[in-house]
Structure 1
Amino acid sequence: MAGRIVVLVPAHNEERSLPAALASLREQGRPADRIIVVADNCTDGTAAVARAAGVEVFETVRNRDKKAGGLNQALAVLLDLLDPADLVLVMDADGTLSPTFLETAAAELADPSVGAVGGVFWGEAGAGLIGALQRNEYARYAREIDRRRGRAHVLTGTATLHRVDVLRQIAATRGRTLPGPAGKVYDTTALTEDNEITLAIKTLGYRCVSPAECRVETEVMPTWGDLWRQRIRWQRGALENLKTYGLTRVTAPYALQQVGMGIGVVAMWLFLLLTALTIHHGFEFRPLWFAVGLIFVVERVVTVSRRGPRAMALALTMVVEWAYDLFLQVVLIRSAWDVLRRTEARWHHVVVATDN
């Protein structure tokens, strides 16, 4: 039976988004026993906001390793104080949890084969067309997880509940079975710490799941520049993690996915090239290809039906989402190129506009 639930909320200058995250924790059907905001190199009122909300604050000391480094500092103190049956939720300060999150996740972890339970993320409202496109993308990902009966491809950094004994195993095997600094839970050399710790947990032989009831609402990127930098980090981090771990039974499905994405990129751009070369001959109606196209359109609309008529209407236009897909394909190409060139990777933090 699960013991206490301790929440770590890593936050860098999150005074505006933090109250909503903490409020969602207060509304849990199974409340957390401790909530600790990990204030990392903050220059705003993040720590003050957390204390005013009645939660604990852990302030990092000379951390240069971003989110992973801040969490490592907090866990270095916390793990020695917890029992093996306790659970640790790592939750971003810019997300909010569904009221059933902790109760559902804790129940899943009663199965000893499950190492961690991640959230199924949905996009917050706002940000116009670019926000709507991201919300449709996230809705399709949620549907895919549901069709896989909750098997998680990646434990989202937005919110994941971990077993303490598993976190200790990760720290104990770093530098040997697992890559990364010895004795640390998170690999500070990884660009995407959530993807890397998923591989670590699965390499140790545990399953990772994301039940539909563990819903978390997360920020969407407000501009194309922000989205570009976010997705470059995600995609490049995934590629670098695969390179670090090498080809194993755990990484093989991820490698095949990347190969499939690469084939999709080549096929799409060849189609564009062929279209450009033959368009002067005019268009000819072909029933077979019309039927294939119609099936594709129906699939795009149905897979966002949970989000309602507006999302379905956006999917029905096809051209807009197609352009969005091309954007993501360019991200993949650029990420692969950066990995090959070994260019310096950068972390991007979205600055929330303040009221005047």
Structure 2
Amino acid sequence: MTSRGSAARSAAGPITPRVTVLVPAHDEEEALPRTLRSLADQTLRPGRVVVVADNCSDATTDVARAHGADVVETSGNRDRKAGALNQALRRVRTDLVLALDADTTITPRFVEDGLRLLDSRPSLGAVGGVFEGESPRGYLRGCQANEYERYGVQVDVTRRTSVLTGTAALIRREALEEVARERGSRLPGVAGDVYDRAAITEDSELTLALRTLGYELASPLSMRCTTELMPSWRDLHRQRVRWYKGMLDNLAAYGVTRTTLRYHGQQVMLTLSAIMLATLVGLTVLAVVTGTFQLVPFWLAIGGVFLVERLTTVWQAGWRARALAAGILPELFYDLALQRAYLHAVWLHHTGRDAGWHHVTTSDDGRARVPVSTGRAGAGG
């Protein structure tokens, strides 16, 4: 069912009819207004904004209409965000599709910069945003914000897009149509589906699909998007287990190819780094407890280089980010938590267990509210 929003859009900039925005939303009445305002404030506004309301039990559809968006309500979707987007994409006829999470805001020049880059480089199948955390409050959110800041620096330095982020990505419709045609033959999944309904991380799977078909991807720093930070250790662990296991499952579905070889290597290095970090911390604690710990100049020098790297990669994020990085130990503890989530994901992957799916809502002051287990329903997350 489709209905037209009645509110007038902002006069921030001219409209381009080439872009349709799809915002998959499962019970997102609180976060959705910020997302839609960021679209209305674009220097080059999309011709159509569609909120894909998936199994919603709150006022998501009313909020969407009040902010001038069209609403498409899914029908019988049991395949989460991938299923919701697949249903909505059947109605899209524009050259470009901007897939945007309902809890994500984008910089005012996001659409304009994305179009310019795609027009200048025909080999690009899509351009993704470089995500950053909302204004961090507290230790856990600060660590996540620093992690995202470092990711942005890595993308800027290497000019390599490892994953086309699902939070905000501008994609050529012709590339999505080719993906749908190749499902069940060159690509995993069901013929006709753009997003693989079996993938729990649809963004990393679509990345592999586009790269397999020969498309290039890019993530310029000017196209930043701001997304939610996990409010608790439990939510963080669940999120990262899903991310890690999703990539492992996707790589298993694709096998070892020229496209996936580098990604397989990254998983091997992640496993080794998790084991090595845990071993190093364990041996250090043991040395302190037994009284055999001593400072060695060589390792102090290595530690100094490590500290400089941690500081410089978050320098632009401000003094709070630098202070957190300078402490080393707080972020080391955070890294250990991520390594634990990765090893948990490896275990779930090899045992064939489900990583689960949950949806976290936050109040206006940024505090966590009750996490909602959505099973296989719901486009959020």
Question: What is the CA–CA distance in structure 2 between the aligned matches of 1:137 and 1:336, rounded to whole Å?
Answer: 21
Question: What is the CA–CA distance in structure 1 between the aligned matches of 2:54 and 2:88, rounded to whole Å?
Answer: 10
Match of 1:139 in 2: 149
Question: What is the CA–CA distance in structure 2 between the aligned matches of 1:270 and 1:128, rounded to whole Å?
Answer: 28
Secondary structure at the counterpart of residue 90 of structure 2 = helix
Q: Which of these residues, 144, 164, 186, is aligned with residue 155 of structure 1?
A: 164
Question: What is the CA–CA distance in structure 2 between the aligned matches of 1:219 and 1:265, rounded to whole Å?
Answer: 26
User: Which shows bigger deviation, 102-111 or 226-235?
Assistant: 102-111
Q: Which of these residues, 11, 19, 29, is aligned with residue 33 of structure 2?
A: 19
User: Which shows bigger deviation, 345-354 or 255-264?
Assistant: 345-354
Secondary structure at the counterpart of residue 77 of structure 1 = coil
Are 1:265 and 1:329, in contact at CA under 8 Å, matched by a contact in 2? yes
Question: What is the CA–CA distance in structure 2 between the aligned matches of 1:276 and 1:93, rounded to whole Å?
Answer: 43
Question: What is the CA–CA distance in structure 2 between the aligned matches of 1:183 and 1:105, rounded to whole Å?
Answer: 26
Q: Which of these residues, 197, 200, 204, is aligned with residue 188 of structure 1?
A: 197
Deviation at 1:52?
A: 1.0
Match of 1:260 in 2: 269
User: Which shows bigger deviation, 122-131 or 28-37?
Assistant: 122-131
Deviation at 1:221?
A: 0.5
- 1:95-244 aligned at under 5 Å gives the runs 95-110=104-119, 111-149=121-159, 151-244=160-253
Question: What is the CA–CA distance in structure 1 between the aligned matches of 2:307 and 2:291, rounded to whole Å?
Answer: 25
Question: What is the CA–CA distance in structure 1 between the aligned matches of 2:141 and 2:214, rounded to whole Å?
Answer: 37
Are 1:240 and 1:339, in contact at CA under 8 Å, matched by a contact in 2? yes
Secondary structure at the counterpart of residue 46 of structure 2 = coil
Tell me the TM-score normalized by structure 2.
Answer: 0.89
Deviation at 1:181?
A: 1.0
Question: What is the CA–CA distance in structure 1 between the aligned matches of 2:279 and 2:143, rounded to whole Å?
Answer: 24
Are 1:15 and 1:49, in contact at CA under 8 Å, matched by a contact in 2? yes
Question: What is the CA–CA distance in structure 2 between the aligned matches of 1:200 and 1:206, rounded to whole Å?
Answer: 9
Q: Which of these residues, 329, 343, 354, is aligned with residue 339 of structure 2?
A: 329
Secondary structure at the counterpart of residue 311 of structure 2 = helix
> Which structure would you say has the larger RCO, counting Cα contacts within 8 Å and 6 or more residues apart?
2
Are 1:127 and 1:220, in contact at CA under 8 Å, matched by a contact in 2? no
Q: CA RMSD in A?
A: 1.5
Q: In structure 1, list runs of 5 or more residues that go unmatched.
A: none
Percent identity over paired residues: 48
Deviations 1:81-114 (A, max 9, x none): x25xx10000001010001100111111111110
Q: Which of these residues, 342, 345, 358, is aligned with residue 348 of structure 1?
A: 358
1:293 aligns with 2:307: no
Tell me the TM-score normalized by structure 1.
Answer: 0.95
Deviation at 1:126?
A: 3.9
1:72 aligns with 2:91: no
Question: What is the CA–CA distance in structure 1 between the aligned matches of 2:100 and 2:283, rounded to whole Å?
Answer: 46
Are 1:127 and 1:221, in contact at CA under 8 Å, matched by a contact in 2? no
Are 2:104 and 2:227, in contact at CA under 8 Å, matched by a contact in 1? yes
Q: In structure 2, list runs of 5 or more residues that go unmatched.
A: 1-15, 370-381
Deviations 1:231-286 (A, max 9, x none): 11000001111111001111111111111111111211222333244332433332
Question: What is the CA–CA distance in structure 1 between the aligned matches of 2:177 and 2:352, rounded to whole Å?
Answer: 32
Give the letter for the 2:358 counterpart.
Answer: H
Secondary structure at the counterpart of residue 91 of structure 2 = helix
Q: Which of these residues, 76, 83, 88, is aligned with residue 97 of structure 2?
A: 88
Question: What is the CA–CA distance in structure 1 between the aligned matches of 2:278 and 2:37, rounded to whole Å?
Answer: 46
Question: What is the CA–CA distance in structure 2 between the aligned matches of 1:52 and 1:106, rounded to whole Å?
Answer: 27
Deviation at 1:354?
A: 7.0
Give the letter for the 1:196 counterpart.
Answer: E
